[in-house]
């Protein structure tokens, strides 16, 4: 297949691109290499991909309408996977315009390119954040998500609505994927696992919001990538039993689908930290803080649809995933002592 991956220098985008290249696909990767977090890390991810001649990198911003139009004129993609976005719930309180540019303007540029060039399947990253004020768990794609609690979440919900309109108007097969707290090697420095690891190794107190009373459906990167690949290969189709009188938000009479991709095994944040302590062989100093605006105390994914339609359910336990992250972190940043590396290897080996 000939596939466009936006956000190819990002955490999920680079991992997905690698897997697609490994199976023989050609990948055109797009990224604007912004400085929201370390550009050096993004370039290091790209360097691994550029060793493969079937990877083509385009340094371009999806919010650039003319550049995206030119890209879709020059290339004919079998599928598009949009992973380019301004991420982060808390950052959306500080810089809302960036979210509109990347997550709204950029998204419609991709939809337009896809529909005018006859793309076979438009897949895009949504987020568990869309569940917002919902408290009925596990979160189901079939539930209403009308109450986002951050602009980031609202932008991701807007993507789902925009994609449905294109699926309806132009019969463009569109599938949205609601990711649940992705972690693992080559992860984002603004995410908890990265911040916690860095803080513990430096002997600093790590910030723990809601005084640690948080539950997350932590999902390992390899499970996310496996789910995405299966979705790319299965274009959305109209649901034959969809009813306009009792509309199901996850399906449609248009070629449109929504799926959760989560581990379906909620983990308390304090247990997550304890596993990290074991892998590092060091105790964490905790700075217990109140809940942050835009955050939610708990996320748990219902992945029944993913299992039924695609034959896959994420399953990597945090004990395995965190150990693999620690091994990568120590290798990437040059190690922090033999005793720490040994602890990580022991934890990894026991998983």
Tally of CA atoms within 13 A in the half-sphere of 245 that contains its CB? 1
Q: What is the largest CA-CA distance in the chain?
A: 63
- Is residue 127 a contact partner of residue 179, using CB atoms and an 8 Å limit? yes
Query: Quick one: CA dihedral 167, 173, 174, 175, positive or negative?
Result: positive
The reply to whether 152 belongs to the active site is: yes
Q: Which of 99, 124, 152, 220 is catalytic?
A: 152
- Is residue 232 a contact partner of residue 197, using CB atoms and an 8 Å limit? no
CA distance 131 to 93: 18
Q: Indicate the SS3 state at residue 117.
A: helix
Retrieve residue 69's tokens.
Answer: 């139009």
- Is residue 114 a contact partner of residue 122, using CB atoms and an 8 Å limit? yes
Retrieve residue 47's tokens.
Answer: 């360097």
Return the percent helix, strand and coil in the chain, to nearest 5. 45, 15, 40
Which residues belong to the active site?
152
């Amino acid at each position: 297949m000939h596939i466009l991956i936006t956000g190819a220098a990002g955490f999920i985008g680079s991992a997905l691109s690698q897997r697609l290249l490994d199976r023989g696909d050609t990948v055109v990767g797009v990224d604007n290499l912004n400085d929201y977090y370390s550009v050096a890390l993004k370039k290091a991810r790209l360097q691994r991909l550029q060793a493969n001649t079937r990877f083509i990198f385009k340094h371009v911003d999806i919010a650039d309408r003319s550049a995206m139009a030119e890209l879709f004129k020059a290339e004919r993609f079998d599928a598009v996977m949009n992973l380019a976005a301004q991420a982060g719930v808390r950052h959306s309180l500080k810089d809302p315009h960036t979210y509109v540019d990347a997550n709204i303007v950029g998204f419609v540029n991709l939809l337009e390119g896809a529909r005018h060039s006859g793309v076979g399947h438009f897949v895009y990253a949504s987020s568990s954040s869309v569940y917002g004020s919902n408290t009925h768990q596990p979160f189901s794609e079939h539930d209403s998500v009308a109450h986002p609690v951050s602009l980031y979440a609202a932008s991701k919900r807007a993507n789902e609505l925009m994609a449905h309109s294109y699926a309806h108007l132009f019969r463009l097969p569109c599938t949205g994927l609601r990711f649940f707290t992705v972690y693992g090697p080559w992860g984002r420095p603004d995410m908890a696992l990265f911040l916690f690891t860095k803080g513990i190794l430096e002997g600093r107190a790590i910030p723990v919001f809601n005084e640690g009373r948080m539950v997350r459906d932590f999902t390992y990167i390899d499970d996310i990538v496996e789910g995405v690949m299966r979705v790319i290969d299965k274009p959305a189709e109209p649901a034959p039993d969809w009813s306009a009188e009792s509309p199901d938000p996850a399906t449609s009479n248009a070629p449109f689908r929504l799926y959760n991709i989560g581990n379906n095994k909620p983990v308390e944040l304090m247990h997550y930290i304890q596993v990290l302590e074991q892998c590092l062989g060091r105790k964490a100093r905790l700075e217990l803080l109140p809940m942050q605006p835009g955050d939610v105390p708990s996320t748990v994914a219902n992945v029944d649809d993913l299992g039924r339609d695609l034959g896959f359910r994420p399953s990597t336990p945090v004990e395995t995933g965190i150990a693999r992250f620690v091994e990568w972190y120590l290798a990437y940043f040059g190690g922090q002592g033999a005793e720490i590396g040994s602890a990580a290897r022991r934890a990894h080996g026991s998983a």
